[in-house]
Amino acid sequence: MRYCPNCSLTLTTKFDGGRERSACPDESCGFIHFGNFSIGAAAVVIRDSKALLVQRGWEPGRGSWQIPGGYVEHDEPILEAVEREVMEESGVTAKARDVIAFRHSIGGSIGGPSTNMYVVFRLDYIEGEPKFDNDEVIGAGFYSLDEMSQMASVQGLSRWAIDKAMRADGLGGLHPENGVGSMPARPGWQLFGLTPPDPDLM
């Protein structure tokens, strides 16, 4: 970023929050650029001990298999985003249950344009057979771990997330909790927390 998005002045630098940052020289404007960030959401959907995978049609990684996922829009609740990505990429309807993992990557270290938080959800299968558009996605289906071991190019992160979801079947991840207990609902927030284990299952 070279210019202030508020007043179009050329950005200079300002010491803020313990480091030099790009900032507008006009003190009355006050714009400070804190960096470029993105949030991704990915879905592990299990049906009959098989996980949903989609095959990438675009570079990078064309032809590789992965769990459905993509970027969260800036004004989109993350739960809606992950369910939307499953539907868009596979035609499957699924409902987000909990968060099972996340990955944090800094400044394009995995080839992306920005620092990224990638949140992996476990979703409950609702309905639909996998289908694909032959453009962004060139294959889709439910596969067992044994079948995945025979497939070329199953992404490591996807395989790791599927394994986590299957091993944690009787355990809970981070569940949506807005408006529960002492934490009231707040517009624009989605809060997630651990749920205490059911003593009957211990």
Q: Where are the domains of the chain?
A: 1-35, 37-169
| pLDDT(108) > 60 | no
What pLDDT shows up at residue 36? 84
| pLDDT(101) > 50 | yes
In this predicted model, what pLDDT tens digit does every residue of 134-162 receive, in sequence order? 999 999 999 999 999 999 899 999 999 99
| pLDDT(173) > 50 | yes
Read off φ and ψ for residue 118, nearest 5 degrees: -115, 110
Q: What percent of the chain has pLDDT over 90?
A: 67
Distance of CA 99 to the CA centre of its chain: 10
What pLDDT shows up at residue 200? 56
Where does the pLDDT of residue 111 fall: very low under 50, low under 70, confident under 90, or very high at 90 and above?
low
CA distance 34 to 114: 12
CA distance 163 to 148: 11
Q: What's the mean pLDDT in 46-66?
A: 96
Strands 192-194 and 174-176, bridge-based pairing: antiparallel
Q: Which fold has domain 37-169?
A: Nucleoside Triphosphate Pyrophosphohydrolase (3.90.79)
Distance of CA 49 to the CA centre of its chain: 22
Residue 21, strand partner residues: 14
What pLDDT shows up at residue 138? 97
Q: How far is CA 122 from CA 58, 129, 189, in A?
A: 25, 18, 20
Q: Which two tokens stand for residue 191?
A: 């809060």
Q: Name which residue leads in pLDDT, 180 or 175.
A: 175
Q: How far is CA 157 from CA 63, 140, 180, in A?
A: 16, 17, 32
Q: Which two tokens stand for residue 182?
A: 């002492």
How many Cβ atoms sit within 10 Å of the Cβ of residue 27?
8
CA distance 84 to 87: 5
| pLDDT(61) > 80 | yes
For the chain, how big is the Rg over CA atoms in Å? Answer: 20
